[in-house]
Every structure is written in structure tokens, then in C-alpha cells.
Structure 1
Amino acid sequence: MSRSPVVTQNPKPKTQNRKGLIPLLDLLILKEVIGPWVFGVGMFTSLLMAGTFLGRLTEYLSEGVPPLTVVKVFFLLMPAILAKTFPMAMLLAALLSYGRLSGDSEITAVRAAGGSLYRVVRPATIFALGVALLAFGFNEIVVPSATRESLALANEIVKLKNPNEAFPVVKEFTEKGILRLGVVAQNFVPTSQTFEGVVLVPFDETGKLVGYFRAKEMIFRGEKDWRLRGGTTFVAPDGTGHYTSEGEVWPDEAIQIPQTPTDLIKPRDDDFDAQSMAELGRNIAVYKRDKTKTRAAIANYEYGFWNKISLPLAAVVFGTLGSVLGIRNARTGTATGFALAVAIIFGYVTVTNFMNVWARNGVLPPWVASFTPIVLGLGASCLIMVRKNS
């Protein structure tokens, strides 16, 4: 009896195994990256806080400011620091995690199984993109309000430490590019949120001076609801037409102030952390239309506007560059990763400062200056990756 030949079928295990190994490889690398990233956020936050604000906070305590107030200032300053440390921590995490995987020959095993360097780096780049989105959202939603509160609280602390020292305020308000109102106050009392010794200088819709209103106090009753009290005196531009009103009044000739007391006393235009991207854009449009700022000042604001995007994108650059540089043939210590991270961050900060100067001097458009470090970083990452993969 003849036997029929046995036919075996190849189940193509290689294709199935390869498809199954892809998420496992991603999971392996992500587990290695997340821990160092969290550690990096904590480490860089501590370093930046100690180097920038620790002296001021300890000075508050030594001058008798209540500890709870100092703690509140500390937590209000924290979001702006955190937003800057997210990209830095991404660089450190990529260097340390890929350095450890290389030292344990796990990267070599993946390469020997047919995985390309691009495939190995991809999980870190995707995680870095998530960090960039987190940093952008955090910088837009949390940082501006916290920074504004910290500035206002710092001003209140200064006033409380020196109750007899005046806190003058000078503000101007425009509509459609036309100056409509000037506000001058001799002093601000934070405990009652009251402005003392106030002079309002209203202008009509054509920008013509209407007159002067003097009052003992200006108080805030609600959104766009300010009142003058303690006797309000009007003086015409030519010095005639005096009249005085008692009680709480607001002159019809003056537009309502669209800000709160906190908004009036804080230097919003001088701190980009206190403004969201939309607020910066509106202010830039007003400055260009009203011509109240120099060309260099407007360029600096535009540079800060585009940095709201380029700073979070630095996480993608650092994640890609750190993972490529972290893949090494020889085992290296953790100190090497720390040193390399500090060197790269120092180089990045140096380039961004140069770009800021060039933007203000008109050498480069602000958006080009803002994104130049990102382009240089991505270019260096791609070049190193191609060389290592060949």
C-alpha cells in the first residue's frame, strides 16, 4: 500500500511574531522612558526654582511675610517652571533610557532581528510628541493665570511690607487704535483693592481730550463696573467748567475700564508667561496699530508669541536627539547622560538667546528666529540617525 505524501503548510510564524513584537517593543521602551522623564521634571524644576525664586522666597520669610503666603507664591510660580522643564526632562529621559537599553544589548537584539534604528527611536518620538502637546496645553491654560496671580501677590507683599510707601499706577486704554482713557493713581491699597488719589483723563472717539476727573478713590464693583467716590471733580481742558459730584459715580465721558484691580497693577506686557498665545496676539495687533511700541519691542513680542509653539516642540527635538545619542555600543554610566543633557540644553538656550537678539535687531523675522533651534535640532537628529543606521 502506497502512502500519500504528507504536505506541511508553513504558518508564516515570522510575520505573526513580528506583528506581535511591535507593541511589545513600544511598551518596553515607553516603560523605560516614563520613569526618567518624571524624575527629570522633578530634578529640573528643583534646580530652576532654586536658581531663580528661592532667594526671593527666603527673603519674604526673613522679612516676616506669613509662611502660608510664601507657600502660595511658591505654588503659583511652579506652573511656569514646570512648563519649561517638560522638554528638558524629555532629553534626559531619552538619554538615560536608551543608554540603559544599549548597555543591556537590548537595542542590539532588536537590530539583529531586523528592526531599523528608525523603528527603535519611534516610541520615544511619539512619547515626546505627547509631552509637547501637554506642555503647550499647560502653558496656555494653567501658566498665564497662575503667573498673573503670583505677580499680583508679589505686589501685595511689597505693599504689606512697606505700608507707608506709595504704589503708583499709570495705565492707558485704547479702542480701535485710538486712545480713549488714561488712569493715574497715586497709590493702590491691596487690602481693600482701592486706588487712591485718582485722575481720569478721558478722550472722545476721535482721540480729542475731554477733560480731567479727580477723585479721592476709585473702587471696583464688578466686571467693567468701576466707581469714583469721595468727591469727583471735573476740570475742562482749558481749566474751566469745574463741577463736583458726590457719592459713587462714573463719568459718562469716560469708557469703563475692562480690567480688574489685579490686571491694573500687574506688568502683563513685560512677562510673556502671564499671557496666553491669544492674548499676546491681541496685544501685538494693538501695538502695531497704535504704534505705541518700537519695532524692536514688537519683534520681541512676536518672538515670544511664536515661542509658545516652539518651546513645546523642543520636547520632540530633545526626545529624538536624546534617543539617537543614547544608543551607544559601549556601556556608559548615568553621569554621562546627565552631562550630555546639560550640554545640549545649554547649547539650545544659547542659540535661542542669539535668535532673540537677531529678531529684535531685524536680522531675522521673529517666527524664523523662534523655529531655527527646532530645525537645527531636528536636522542634527536626522543626520545622526542616518549615519548610525547605515
Structure 2
Amino acid sequence: MTPHSFRMSQTLQQSRWPWFPRLSVLDRYVLQELLKPFLFGVGVFSAVGVSAGSLFTLLQQVTSTQLPLDIALKILLLQVPRFVSFALPMAILLATLLCLARLSGDRELTALRACGVSFYRLLAPILVFCLSVMGLMFFLNQDLVPFTQYQSKLMMQQPALEGKLNLQDKNVFYQEYGPDREVRRFFYAQTFDGQSMQALTILDLTQPSANQVISAERATWDPKESRWQFQNGRIYRVTADGSDQSVASFKDQQLYIPRDPLDLAAPQQALEDMSIADARSYLAQQRQVGNANKQRKAELHIQQQFALPVVTLLFGVVGSILGTSMRQVSNSTGFGVCILIVLGYYFFGFLTSSLGNLGLLSPIAAAWLPNAAIAITATGLLVRVDR
């Protein structure tokens, strides 16, 4: 009897584990065997992601833009949840492959089948574990990752406030529509520095009796009063038939105009870092502006936020099936197999995403086709598994 088989027999004789009191002894044993390679995979894949995705970029920022080292380190730590989220599906694939390969190599699967335990029964605790990780990934993507990405962006803006970086936006356009999609206002600002807008021009078509054009050197938003504070400008008022015209100058003028142009111009998170709720708000803005290209990208991102966590479950099934067909697999071999599978999945996902962004595939198809390919593969492998 191998050491692993002896440990399994000792475990199966125990009646209760404090960690999983409501699960059977077999389920607890399988979950214990999954946990170590899973944590190993999360650590390795997260470290690789942080090093390749953020570390070198931040080092370049430190040397080229004089980003303070302490801020760079804080930003690096804030990037960790994002890469942990990326690592979870790969860690599931690695854990299931190594776990089942170890059980198969030590003939424990043979012993279990001799006792009447089918592969599908053995798969049950693995699916529970995958569902738990899927929920964790969804939580990270919807709550923690958007928050940490936003905080890291705020830290990047601190040197900008000191004049070390330039984050100024130029040529801000905005159109406000009514309930029947009629144009109500045109809004233009020459520059936006993160605090206020400069060189503004507003064409206001909301007055039934006359149209007015508002120009000002500067405008800031007052959140307490929910209105704009304009400085050094003029208001040109013209009746619909052109019979009456008037011009009024002002130094300070408060106007009740929606703050939507400020939301559109303000520095925002990248779309790939938005939660589903944020992406839906962004989508509503782009629909109001009429930007079809950004609408497609937002719709695709929303679908991907639902599709990506599901791949943890699919990878768990694929890894389990591949593990049963292998004998003793080393960590390096399992790591290599996982990399090949993940690269294939993400290459196909990149292809479908590109087609979705171009409008050649619908957002639903572009987001879910890679999962469908993995699901079809897993189903084909499952029907061939020896029960």
C-alpha cells in the first residue's frame, strides 16, 4: 500500500472533520486533496500575472515619470485582486488535473470503483468546490477588483495634481436628448482638468419660445446645490422666428443644467475593470451620446462578466477527466498542460471578442462561444469516461 493509499484509508475511517462537518468522508478527502494544488496554482499564476502585467509597467513609471516608489508599491498591491481573479480558473484546472492524476496513479480510483463509487459520484465534491470558486471570482470581479482598480487610479492621479503627470482631457462633447429622442442641449468644453471645464459653449433648446447659447471661460459643478457655477460668460437669446435677440454678460452665473457632461468627461475606470452595474451605467451614457462602437464594447463586457466565472466550473470538469487518464503527474507537467489549455481558451476568446467588437458577432455569442467550446469538449470526454 502506498503512503497516499494508507492516508486515504485512515481518512475514510474518520467519522467527522471540523472543516466540512456536513459532507461525507469521501467528499472531505477529495476536497482536501484539491486544496493544496489549488492554492499552489493561485499563488503561481497570480505572481506571474502581477510580474508580467503590472510590475514592469510600474518600474517604467517610476523611472520615466518619477512616480514615487511608495505609491508604486501601493498600486502594485492593489493590482493583486485583479490577477487573483484571473488565476482562479487556471488554478482550478491545475488542481483538478493534479488531484485526479494522483488518485489514478496510486490506484485509489480503482479501489473506489471496486467499492461501487462511480466517476460521477467522485466528481460531485469537485463541482461543489468549483461552484464556490466561481462565486468567489464573481465577487472579486463585481466588488473588490473595481474598488482596487479605482483606488490605484486615484493614486496615479496624485502626481498629476502635483504637475508630474498630464491627465487633461480635451474637446469634450455631449448631447442631451429628451424622452422622444429629441435634442435638448449641445455641450462643448475645450479642456477638462479633473476639477473644472474651460472654454464652454452650450446650445440650449429647452425653451419653447427661444433658443439660447451660453458661453463661459470656466464652469465647475456644485454638488451641494446640484448646479453649475459659470464664470465670465455671455448668454445669447434668440426667439424661434429671429425677431428678438438679446445678449447678457455675467461674471458669476448659476445654472441648473444636468451634470452628465462632467460624468462623461471625468477620468473613469477602463471598461475591462468595471463591474456589471458600472458597465450598464456606461452603456446608458453611450446610448445617449449615440456611440455605437462603445455600446458594442460595453454590451460585450457585461456578457463576459457573466461568462468568465462559469469557465471555472468547465475547467474543473475538463481537468478531472484529463487527470483520470494520466498517472503520476508532476507539478511542472500539470502546469504545462494547464498553460496549453488556457492559451487555447483565451486565444479563441480573443478571436470572438474581436469579432464582437467589430459587430460581426453579437455580444452574447462573442462572450459565450469560448465557454460553449469548452462545454462541448467536456461533454464529449464525459460520455467516454468509464463509470
Post-superposition shift, 1:116?
0.8
Alignment size in residue pairs: 359
The equivalent residue for 1:273 is 272
Matched, 1:325 2:327: no
Residue number in structure 2 paired with 1:367: 364
TM-score, scaled to structure 2: 0.80
Q: Is the 8 A contact 1:87 1:318 kept in 2?
A: yes
Aligned to 1:246: 251
User: How far 1:111 moved relative to its partner?
Assistant: 1.6
Q: CA deviation at 1:23?
A: 1.0
Out of 67, 70, 84, the residue aligned to residue 68 of structure 1 is 70
Asked if the contact 1:143–1:273 (Cα under 8 Å) also holds between the matched residues in 2, the reply is: no
For residue 290 of structure 2, give the secondary structure of its aligned residue in structure 1. Answer: coil
**CA deviation map 1:107-139 (0-9, x unaligned):** 222122111111112211111111111111221
Post-superposition offset of 1:179: 5.7
Whole-Å separation in 2 of the counterparts to 1:223 and 1:183 = 24
The amino acid across from 2:329 in the alignment is T
Secondary structure of 1:211 counterpart:
strand
Alignment check: 8 A CA contact 2:98 2:329 kept = no
* Paired amino acid for 2:101: G
| Cα RMSD (Å) | 3.3
Residue 224 and residue 259 in structure 1: after superposition, are their counterparts in 2 closer, same or farther (change >3 A)?
farther
2-structure distance, mates of 1:26, 1:376:
29
* Aligned counterpart, 2:258: 255
1:183-198 pair list within 5 angstroms: 183-188=188-193, 194-195=195-196, 197-198=198-199
Does 2:297 align with 1:300? yes
Contact 2:227 2:255 in 1 (8 A): no
Offset, 1:70: 1.6
User: Residues 102 and 141 (structure 1 numbering): CA distance in 2 closer, same or farther, change over 3 Å?
Assistant: same
Alignment of 1:332-347 (within 5 A): 332-347=329-344
Paired residues of 2:221 and 2:229 also in contact (CA < 8 A): no
Alignment gaps of 5+ in structure 1: 1-16
1:387 corresponds to: 384
Is the alpha carbon distance of 1:370 and 1:257 closer, same or farther for their aligned partners in structure 2, counting shifts above 3 Å? Answer: closer
Question: Could you say what secondary structure the match of 1:243 adopts?
Answer: strand
SS in structure 2 of the partner of residue 389 of structure 1: coil
The aligned residue for residue 59 of structure 1 is 60
Secondary structure of 1:132's match? helix
Contact 1:224 1:259 in 2 (8 A): no
* Pair 164,388 (structure 1): closer, same or farther in 2 beyond 3 Å: closer
**Equivalent residues in 2 for 1:1-390 (5 A)?**
23-62=24-63, 63-158=65-160, 160=162, 162=164, 167-168=169-170, 170-172=172-174, 174-175=176-177, 176=179, 177=181, 178=183, 180=185, 182-188=187-193, 194-195=195-196, 197-205=198-206, 210-216=212-218, 218-222=219-223, 225=226, 227-228=228-229, 230-235=231-236, 241-247=246-252, 249-252=253-256, 254-257=257-260, 264-268=265-269, 271-285=270-284, 287-288=286-287, 290=288, 292-294=290-292, 297-389=294-386
Q: Counterpart of 1:121 in 2: which secondary structure?
A: helix
CA distance in 2, matches of 1:35, 1:108: 23
Separation of aligned partners in 2, 1:149 and 1:233: 39
On the 8 A contact 1:169/1:265 being kept in 2, the answer is no
Aligned residues of 1:36 and 1:92 also touching (Cα < 8 A): yes
Which moves more between the two structures, 315-324 or 225-234? 225-234
Residue 220 to residue 362, structure 1, CA distance change in 2 (3 Å): closer
Alpha carbons of 1:164 and 1:66: their partners in 2 closer, same or farther (altered >3 Å)?
Answer: closer
Q: Which amino acid aligns with 1:255?
A: P
1:148 Cα offset (Å): 3.2
1:4 corresponds to:
none
- Alpha-carbon separation, structure 2, partners of 1:50 and 1:329: 32
Q: Contact conserved, 1:37 with 1:93, CA < 8 A, in 2? A: yes
Structure 2, unmatched stretches of 5+, are: 1-11, 17-22
